[in-house]
Amino acid sequence: MNTPIYDFVKELNENNVSRFFMPGHKGRCFLGIEFEQLNKYDITEITGADALFVADGIIDESEKNATKLFGSRETIYSAGGSTLCIQTMLSLVKMKGKKIIAGRNAHMSFINSCILLGLQPIWVLPKVSDKYGVCGLITADQIEEKIKQNPDAVAVYITAPDYLGNVCDIKQISKVCDRYGVDLLCDNAHGAYLKFADDNKHPLDLGVTMCCDSAHKTLPVLTGGAYLHLSDKCKYAKSEVKNIMNMFGSTSPSYLILQSLDLCNWYLENRAKNEYKQIKTVVKQIKDRLKSKNIPYLENEIDFCKITIDANKIGYTGDKLKSILYKYGIECEYSNSEYVVLLISPFLQGPDYNNLFAFIDDIKVKKEIFKNKVTYTLPEVVLSPKEAFEKDFEIVNVEESQGRICAQTISLCPPGVPVIMCGEKINNNVKKILKNSGNIYIKVVK
Ligand SMILES: Cc1ncc(COP(=O)(O)O)c(C=O)c1O
């Protein structure tokens, strides 16, 4: 597979072209020496370099390579992460109406897009898996029920995998959506690599209409690199999708990111399948070692590169385990009061695993921490997120917030799952969760 974007910039460098174009560093080193090579490859939309949002040259060619690799109808590059793809997917479906059925385990990028676009999410609460009841699995039955109750909903939006590695039954959900003629959008930010696992469980192959993958999260791609995949079910023309992306994205998308997406195609074609096969064995070794010490973890059979350790069961908080891991030279992906999440990839090396095994061998397993599970119920929706966001607000003490309409979105942790969002009424249950997680003040509608 060729790498047309990278090859173009390489040739530009070989020809020693005088850069009377942007960016201002002119391909020369101005910061640390580490940037010397990077700056040479950081270019803009000069003649021959194509343009991301109206691509018909090297970017188009590279996107076609990605399309082939993912088996999509069209795969479109984003240099603005999955966030840009989510804004785009939602703008497209918004042309048909405002209501969208969504799993509550949605990321902040979805919520912000709803505020921007004036969409009204109809929430589906995942079946409980964490103590707030917001990380977990939503089911096809739940989706069907919501579609029946909301025949004017324009799409269903799911997040799979979520931050802990939960993956809902996309195939069953897609069958329901097909039956009712509703588009299924999937935030697959965490699962680009699934396509290259031996038992491919990529959402594109399970019936979604569109999905986004943060290539940068799991594949060897620079931060910000992502894909927006359109399946055969998706009726929008590629040019129409790009027009929308153009409205949210920078007019100067990073060519470093585009080149890393381009080079990644080569990796995906030549190495990925084999390396993900091998990594499964490594993951099994890690899990066996955890098992031998009675350290519980979420099964994550599909999102197998995510190791989610249940810290409470061995007497720690996830945050405490994270700080202990740090002493072993390991920075983990994420921790909260319950879990710690480690991301595995073929690009980790022997010494990295040695650090992890040393941690597992040394960690003292203590008595389980029992916590009262808080039963989370969805708050009542009073205003749309956009309406609430645009209203005058005041800041009140959480203690006094019950019964008020929230004017902000509060998520407890990086996964971005909202406990309360703009336009929802703060109930006693939400108040308790907010207080327990250290929130003192909250913005409410005046
Ligand atoms: C589930 C989920 N969706 C979407 C995003 C946004 O992705 P990106 O950072 O690529 O814009 C994230 C980022 O952490 C995420 O975790």
3-state secondary structure (DSSP) of residue 197? coil
Q: Of the residues 77, 84, 105, 109, which should be mutated to test ligand 1's pocket, given the most ligand atoms within 8 Å of the CB?
A: 109
Q: Of the residues 82, 104, 112, 187, which should be mutated to test ligand 1's pocket, given the most ligand atoms within 8 Å of the CB?
A: 82
Residue type, 47: T
* pLDDT classification of 418: cutoffs 50, 70, 90: confident
User: What is the gyration radius of the CA atoms in the chain, in angstroms?
Assistant: 23
Section 258-285 average pLDDT: 98
- Give the per-residue SS3 of 81-110: HHHHHHHHHHHHHHCCCCEEEEECCCCHHH
Could you tell me the two tokens for 428?
């006693």
Cβ contact 388:407 at 8 Å? yes
Task: Say yes or no to pLDDT of 46 above 90.
Answer: yes
| pLDDT, position 331 | 98
Distance 11 CA to ligand 1 centre (A): 34
| pLDDT, position 430 | 92
Question: How many CB atoms within 10 Å of residue 16?
Answer: 8
* pLDDT classification of 413: cutoffs 50, 70, 90: low
Distance 189 CA to ligand 1 centre (A): 5
> Looking at per-residue confidence, does 91 or 411 come out higher?
91
> Using the 8-state DSSP alphabet, how is residue 268 labeled?
I
- The H helix count followed by the E strand count for the chain is 15, 16
| pLDDT, position 416 | 55
**153/156 Cα distance (integer angstroms):** 8
Cβ contact 105:212 at 8 Å? no
* pLDDT classification of 48: cutoffs 50, 70, 90: very high
Task: Say yes or no to pLDDT of 126 above 90.
Answer: no
Please report, for residues 86, 109, 117, 161, 289, the alpha-carbon distance to residue 113 in angstroms, rounded to integers and kept in the order given. Answer: 7, 6, 6, 20, 42
| pLDDT, position 130 | 64
Question: How many CB atoms within 10 Å of residue 148?
Answer: 9
Residue type, 374: V
Q: Which atom of ligand 1 is nearest to the CA of 226?
A: 10
CA dihedral 349, 351, 352, 356 (to 10 degrees): 140
Cβ contact 241:92 at 8 Å? yes
Report phi then psi at 413, rounded to 5.
Answer: -160, 175
Closest CA to 439 of 409, 403, 410, 408: 410
Per-residue pLDDT of 57-88, as tens digits, reads 999 999 999 999 999 999 999 999 999 999 99
Cβ contact 150:99 at 8 Å? yes
Q: Which atom of ligand 1 is nearest to the CA of 83?
A: 11
Residue type, 217: K
**314/293 Cα distance (integer angstroms):** 10
State the average pLDDT for the chain.
Answer: 94
Per-residue pLDDT of 8-35, as tens digits, reads 999 999 999 999 999 999 999 877 788 8
Please report, for residues 105, 121, 196, 289, 425, the alpha-carbon distance to residue 378 in angstroms, rounded to integers and kept in the order given. Answer: 12, 12, 36, 39, 10
Angle between helices 140-149 and 170-180 (to 10 degrees): 20
Distance 291 CA to ligand 1 centre (A): 30
Q: Of the residues 107, 186, 194, 306, which should be mutated to test ligand 1's pocket, given the most ligand atoms within 8 Å of the CB?
A: 107
**421/410 Cα distance (integer angstroms):** 6
Pairing assessment for the beta strands 306-310 and 339-343 based on DSSP bridges:
antiparallel
**418/381 Cα distance (integer angstroms):** 13
Domains recognised in the chain with CATH numbers:
51-263 (3.40.640.10), 272-362 (3.90.1150.150), 385-445 (3.90.100.10)
| pLDDT, position 128 | 65
* pLDDT classification of 379: cutoffs 50, 70, 90: very high
